[in-house]
Amino acid sequence: MFGFLQNRVADSAIIAAAALFGFVLIVKLAFEPRDPSQAVAVVFAPWLDESTTLSRAAEIGGRFVRFGGYSFIAVIAPDDDGYISRARAKGAWLLADPRALGACLDRLTGKRL
């Protein structure tokens, strides 16, 4: 009996991991910045305040454009091509095209990015 239960738990864990991986992959592909040299929406952890978001996003080589729909999203005009890798190293959860992310936030929350 316990062997059957262990198999079900293992199967469920594999299915959940595959679903999570697929979701993350789809989000990454859908929101990937079209032209990172123009502007990038940098999404940090939701519990960060505006000052932390601003300092993390701008201190690694970019010009602050505006905040997104929430305090943990900053739109940055990068100084060079290495900005995306530096932003990920600084703790960015997602780097997205500001227009694509804004369209989704507008429809879900009524806030504009």
Asked whether the predicted pLDDT for residue 108 surpasses 60, the reply is no
The helix (run of H) or strand (run of E) holding residue 91 is: none
Mean pLDDT of 2-7: 64
Range of the domain at 110: 33-113
C-alpha closest to that of 70 among 45, 89, 95? 45
- pTM to 2 decimals? 0.66
Residues 47, 33: Cα–Cα separation, whole Å: 24
44 lies in the same domain as 90: yes
pLDDT tens by residue, 44-98? 999 999 999 999 888 888 889 888 778 898 889 998 888 888 988 989 988 888 8
User: Total domain count for the chain?
Assistant: 2
Query: Could you tell me the CATH number of the domain that includes residue 97?
Result: 3.30.70
pLDDT tens by residue, 22-50? 887 877 776 777 776 788 889 899 999 99
59 lies in the same domain as 13: no
Structure-token match 């502007």, residue found: 39
